[in-house]
Amino acid sequence: MAAKRSERAGEGQSLGFQADGEEAPGAPLVVIEVDDLASTRAAVEAAGGTVTVEPFDFPGGTRFHVREPSGNELAVWVRAAA
């Protein structure tokens, strides 16, 4: 499995690249940073979104994936406590 790679794209922005074609999604994954993962999840589900990947930790924080009612997949993350 090839490693993922992140690149800085400006102040407070970064880009992540999936180098393994078998794991790469069919479309770009928009990742949204929030302050409170639990309340955001509740709001997403109340608006008709479906969690497709349960929250998981990764270097830098925790995130989950959601499919919104139009079918687009998004990720929502919160930074790890400093």
What is this structure's pTM? 0.72
CA–CA distances in Å: residue 73 to residues 2, 10, 16, 81: 23, 24, 16, 26
Digit-coded pLDDT (tens) for 22-64: 766 677 888 999 999 999 999 999 999 999 999 999 888 999 9
The answer to the question of residue 9 being in a domain is: no
Q: CATH no. for residue 58?
A: 3.10.180.10
Q: How confident is the model at residue 11 (pLDDT cuts 50, 70, 90)?
A: low
**Exposed / middle / buried, residue 77 (Cβ in 10 Å: 0-12, 13-18, 19+):** buried
Q: Flag whether pLDDT at 4 surpasses 80.
A: no
Q: What is the pLDDT of residue 12?
A: 59
Digit-coded pLDDT (tens) for 68-79: 999 999 999 999
How many domains, the chain? 1
The answer to the question of residue 2 being in a domain is: no
* Six-digit token string for 62: 């925790």
The answer to the question of residue 36 being in a domain is: yes
